[in-house]
Amino acid sequence: MMLVTTVYVFVIFVIVSDSKKFSKELPNFPGLYAMGYKYLTRKERESNGSRTKEELRPSAVMQKLLTGYVRTDPPSFSTTEVELGVYIISFYSVNEQTMDYSVSMYLRQKWQDPRLDAFSYMGNKSLRMGDKGWEKIWVPDTFLKNEKGASFHSVTVDNRLIEIRAPTTVWYVIKISATLSCPMTLENFPLDTQVCPMSFESFGYTATVMNFSEFKNQEFLETEKKVEMPQFSLIAASSKDCSSNYTSGIYPCLEIKFYLRRDLGYFIIQVYVPSVLIVILSWVSFWINVDASPARVSIGLLTVLTTTTMSSGARATLPRVSYIKAIDVWMIVCLVFVFTSLIEYAVVNVFARKVARPPKHFNNPPPLTPRLPPHHHIHHSGGCGCGNKGSCIMASRDSGNPIVTKCCIVSVFS
């Protein structure tokens, strides 16, 4: 033990005596250089630090990761699980006539790609790829199955983000505005709740290559706190697997269902309250005199025409479906009330005229009074007899009121 210590001290003494520079720079650690540590001057340390920073730039790391990378090949030979998430920014249109809705959203996708191992270069830091980075690596060919029209946002830059997180997780976010079909059932309109789907499907990869699933460590569906629609409220959402079997194989699919409940405020103000008032207005004719035909007929026709016009306006924004809707039942009932009030006046008018008309006596017609010329003077004799000729009329022209008696007529011409 003493021999080893003596040799160790001797070697250090020789090294320190041969290099005064290192003895001055490292006065307290004379044995570090002998143990293999290399002393770096200030300039050497700065130059080495700059090279390290240069090597850790995202572009340099991506260049190393993409060496020998083939973007057309899937990440692995087994099935790649792609986790989907949706962040709803706004619902800005729900159209019953075309049966579709429009939405603005962030589509978020996450999967594992063992070829992109950035952990050895970046540690736990995330690596954000530059512009068009999604064109350099493999990405899922996800599309919206029930889409009518869609667009990506590019103001002021392409609204896309692709990021590699330790160890081999790829995070891909896209901002999309899309118009999606929504088959609606309108039997309960406007007291209805519609279920509008959003289906994500792989266009070219079958279920043996990739599969869709919901986010596991965070919310699958998120919305803005103040998502508002003119006539609907988002009350719930659900998801299910909608994989379809085509002739070329089974393609993965994930469907989100939005439950939209219609608000009644607009229809109460614009349809229900006015129709109730019109029906009450038609009942006003019951208190109008039956002889006032113009007033009663005008009110009846006015209420019938107004109800018909209101019914047409309430259905103007709806498709021409062949089944009866709840609002049709309401408007038909209102139309029946106002039409019945108009028919009621016609019936009452007929019975009123029958009561006011005097009875006709067809068996005993009233006796006829002959009209005599003014130059005739009629006299009567108290003892004239009518014999078998029946009653006779004698009138005196001397007074204004003729006197009718049962006697014979004697004419004296002047």
103 and 234 share a domain? yes
Question: Tokens 């512009």 — which residue?
Answer: 131
Residue 296 domain flag = yes
Rounded Cα distance, 11 and 17, in Å: 10
Rounded Cα distance, 409 and 414, in Å: 16
Report if pTM > 0.85.
no
68 and 184 share a domain? yes
Question: What residue numbers bound the domain in which 44 lies?
Answer: 16-55
234 and 153 share a domain? yes
DSSP label at residue 272:
I
Q: In this structure, what token pair is assigned to residue 233?
A: 């409220």
Maximum Cα–Cα distance across the chain: 197
Number of H helices, E strands in the chain: 9, 16
68 and 39 share a domain? no
Contact in structure between 34 and 12 (CB atoms under 8 Å)? yes
Helix (H, G, I), strand (E, B) or coil at 146: coil
pLDDT given at position 256:
94
Residue 3 domain flag = no
198 and 250 share a domain? yes
323 and 181 share a domain? no
CATH for 274: 1.20.58.390
Helix (H, G, I), strand (E, B) or coil at 205: coil
69 and 144 share a domain? yes
Residue 304 domain flag = yes
H or E stretch covering 251: strand 249-251
Domain count for the chain? 4
76 and 99 share a domain? yes
272 and 392 share a domain? no
pLDDT given at position 121:
75
Rounded Cα distance, 65 and 56, in Å: 12
88 and 172 share a domain? yes
Rg (CA), the chain: 52
Last residue of a domain, one of 217, 235, 263: 263
Residue pLDDT tens, the chain, 414 long: 565 566 555 555 555 455 544 444 444 444 434 434 444 455 554 454 444 445 567 778 888 888 889 989 999 889 999 999 999 999 988 999 999 999 999 999 999 999 988 777 777 778 888 778 888 999 999 999 999 999 999 888 889 999 988 788 999 999 999 999 999 999 999 999 999 999 999 999 999 999 999 988 888 899 988 888 888 999 999 999 999 899 889 999 999 999 999 999 999 999 999 999 999 999 988 888 888 888 888 888 999 999 999 988 888 888 888 899 999 999 999 999 999 998 988 888 888 887 766 666 555 556 655 555 555 444 444 444 444 444 444 444 444 444 444 444 444 334
280 and 323 share a domain? yes
Residue 358 domain flag = no
316 and 236 share a domain? no
Rounded Cα distance, 66 and 74, in Å: 14
